[in-house]
Amino acid sequence: MPISFEVLDKDIAGRIGRLKAGAKTVKTPLLLPVVNPHLQPVSPSEMKDLGAEGIITNAYIFSRSSEFRERALSEGLHRLLGFDGMIMTDSGSFQLSVYGDVSISNRETLEFQQAIGSDIWVPLDIPTPPDADRTRVEEELAVTMSRLREAVGLFGPDAPLAGPVQGGMYDDLREAAGREAGGLGYVFCPIGAVVPLMESYRYPELVRVVMAAKRGIPVSSCVHLFGAGHPAMFALAVAMGCDVFDSAAYALYAKDRRYLTPSGSRRVDEMAHLPCPCPVCRGHTAEELRESPELERLLSLHNLAVSLAEISSIRQAISDGILWELVDDRCRSHPRLLQAYRDLLAGSGELEPQDRVVKRRFFYRGAESGRRTEVLAYQQRIGRLETGGRVLVAMDGRVREGYDSVLFFKPPFGPYPPELRETFPIGQSEIPDWEESMVVQGCEGIRRLSAANPGSLFTIFCAPEWAGIVARELPSFEVCCDQP
Ligand code: GUN
Ligand code: ZN
């Protein structure tokens, strides 16, 4: 397929990548604003000025429009929309999920998308809703997969085809669908039918679905989260390895008088101030914005600016290796997002092999940080140390005589030998005063080190205030403290 994807940098399972489709090249993570030719508050060229490198529009709407069909066919989408960046087209699948039926075949929609000069074409997949039972999910997935096979058969391996991954709420089906799409040669895989989850804040289930699909999709493929447009969840999705988003949210929220921020949305009617550096917010007071006859358009512009800026923040966080810290920020904006973040951390063993080994820094920001991939990675690597016969873990930082090896202790990581004092993560981590959860997590490091050195006898010295917790966490260890 002449869609190609190259990973340039990464953090957690998130990537900065270069996506090429035909003659167009864009950077990921990428947000494709949704363009509806019939009701468009912001023009595609204004989107370009705001920094949008690509857009997505619905081929089905063009194919059924008396106003636009012939023009799209004769002029091509890029001229018609006045946008020379990447244009992805969706098939009629979304209409299929809303209205139950569409009067177009897989072949017809793909031929139409080709004819109007779309850069990325989507087959007519079936977005099975989350409440569907297994029989229905299997049946509909079989149809979707046969259409992906048909698409490759009709247009060959060089067509810029996207391979949607369906499978409802069944992890094994999502994984199998992702693997099969990869096997068919799809290097651009949208994860589908997640809009109902996001609309009802079912973020923990979204994490499950994305992680399941990602298990099957080759790591080298570009992953699009279909219909994900709220900037508060971009960072979380990128951490799981999603590369592309599409947003109708900027316009839908604007229609509903809602003001997006990277940490949630607000009713513009309840705002006294506009906390954003975009031209709309700097050029209007909250009251002027509310009362403007152009409110919907102005809010759309702001919402889009905020969403695109969030993508830039994520790219920068990946470059800096601090994506976990951005995820931690963003996921505190809603309890269900926080739950999803915690669920992702609970399964961070799956992300750890994809994470980078060395980062610039690690800021501890509470119990969640103790579950980060960097902690897991450290505690897995610590087992490689050979500790000899008698081992001192000086949690109180005081060296004593008579041991074959002396280790210090930095929670949440655990024990470290003096020679690792300056290396990542020990040397580059900033932690506040110790608290129970980070010490508990650090004890796991001692447990791992000891398990890897069954012949070693460990003695732990700690300050009296930690002795109870350490003794409880490590009941088979000798835990001592100097009396004051
Ligand atoms: N837009 C939002 N979700 C979907 C989906 O599952 N499939 C397609 N084709 N478009 C979508
Ligand atoms: Zn603004």
Q: What are phi and psi of 18, to 5 degrees?
A: -115, 115
Q: Which ligand is nearest to the Cα of residue 299, counting in written order?
A: 2
pLDDT per residue as tens digits for the range 442-476: 999 999 999 999 999 999 999 999 999 999 999 99
Contact between 382 and 445 under an 8 Å Cβ cutoff? The reply is yes
- For residue 7, pLDDT beyond 60: yes
Rounded distance from Cα 10 to ligand 2 centre (Å): 29
CA of 316 from ligand 2 middle (Å) equals: 20
Ligand 1 contacts CB of residue 205 (under 6 A): no
Nearest CA to ligand 1 atom 11: 94
pLDDT of residue 206: 98
- pLDDT confidence of residue 103: 82
Give the residue-averaged pLDDT of 371-393.
96
Whether 195 lines ligand 1, by a CB cut-off of 6 Å, is yes
Q: What is the pLDDT of residue 1?
A: 52
Residues marked as catalytic? 90
Q: Which residues, chain by chain, have CB under 5 Å from ion ligand 2?
A: 276, 278, 280-281, 302
Tell which residue, 190, 204, 210, has the closest CA to residue 350: 210
Residue 262, beta-bridge partner list = none
Same CATH topology for 3-354 and 362-480: the answer is no
Nearest to 383 by CA among 445, 455, 459: 445
Across 251-271, average pLDDT? 96
Average pLDDT of 373-385? 97
Burial of residue 440 (CB within 10 Å: 0-12, 13-18, 19+) is: middle
Q: Is the CB of 227 under 6 A from ligand 1?
A: yes
If one residue of 88, 95, 195, 252 were mutated to test the ligand 1 pocket, choosing by the most ligand atoms within 8 A of its CB, it would be 195
Q: What is the mean pLDDT of residues 330-337?
A: 96
| Residue to mutate (ligand 1; options 34, 35, 89, 93; most atoms within 8 A of CB) | 93
The residues near 19 (Cβ < 8 Å, ≥ 6 apart) are 3, 4, 5, 25, 26, 27, 28, 30, 86, 188, 222, 243, 244
Report yes or no: 309 and 302 within 8 Å, Cβ to Cβ.
no
* Topology given in CATH for the domain delimited by 3-354: TIM Barrel (3.20.20)
Name the residue at shortest CA distance from atom 9 of ligand 1. 93
Please tell me the predicted confidence (pLDDT) of residue 484: 62
DSSP 130-149: TT--HHHHHHHHHHHHHHHH
Return mean pLDDT, the chain.
96
Distance 348 CA to ligand 2 centre (A): 35
Residues 208-230 have a mean pLDDT of 97
Is 192 close to ligand 1, i.e. is its CB under 6 Å away? yes
Q: Is the CB of 91 under 6 A from ligand 1?
A: yes
pLDDT band at 324 (very low <50, low <70, confident <90, very high): very high
Domain boundaries, the chain: 3-354, 362-480
Q: What is the pTM of this model?
A: 0.97
Instruction: Kindly identify the ligand whose nearest atom is closest to the C-alpha of 303.
Output: 2
- Mean per-residue pLDDT, 373-400: 96
Amino acid 349: pLDDT: 94
CATH numeric code, 362-480: 3.40.50
Which numbered atom of ligand 1 lies nearest the CA of 93?
9
Across the range 261-283, mean pLDDT stands at 96
- Summarize the confidence of residues 191-203 as an average pLDDT: 96
What residue owns the CA closest to ligand 1's atom 5?
A: 192
Distance from C-alpha of 464 to C-alpha of 468, rounded to nearest angstrom: 8
Q: Which atom of ligand 1 is nearest to the CA of 91?
A: 9
Q: Ligand 1 atom 10: the closest Cα is on which residue?
A: 94
pLDDT in tens, 52-77: 999 999 999 999 999 999 999 999 99
pLDDT score for 96: 75
Report how far ligand 2's centroid is from the alpha carbon of 233 (Å): 18
Residue ID of nearest Cα to ligand 1 atom 6? 192
* Residue 254 CB less than 6 A away from ligand 1: no
Ligand 2 centroid to 283 CA: how many Å? Answer: 9
Q: Is the pLDDT of residue 278 over 80?
A: yes
For residue 83, pLDDT over 60 is answered with yes
**Strand runs labelled E in 211-280:** 222-225, 244-247, 258-261, 264-267
**436 C-alpha vs ligand 1 centroid, how far in Å?**
45
Q: Which atom of ligand 1 is nearest to the CA of 191?
A: 6
Residue among 98, 125, 191, 244 whose CB has most ligand 1 atoms within 8 A, to mutate: 125
Q: List, for residues 100-119, the tens digit of each pLDDT value.
A: 777 889 999 999 999 999 99
- Please report, rounded to a whole number, the percentage of residues in the chain having pLDDT higher than 90: 94
126: CA distance to ligand 1 center in Å? 8
- Judge whether residue 179 has pLDDT over 70: yes
Residue 303 alpha carbon to ligand 1 centre in Å: 22
- For the chain, the first-to-last Cα distance in angstroms comes to 71
What ligand 1 atom has the least distance to the C-alpha of 127? 6
Residues 6 or more apart whose Cβ sits within 8 Å of residue 24: 54, 85, 86, 119
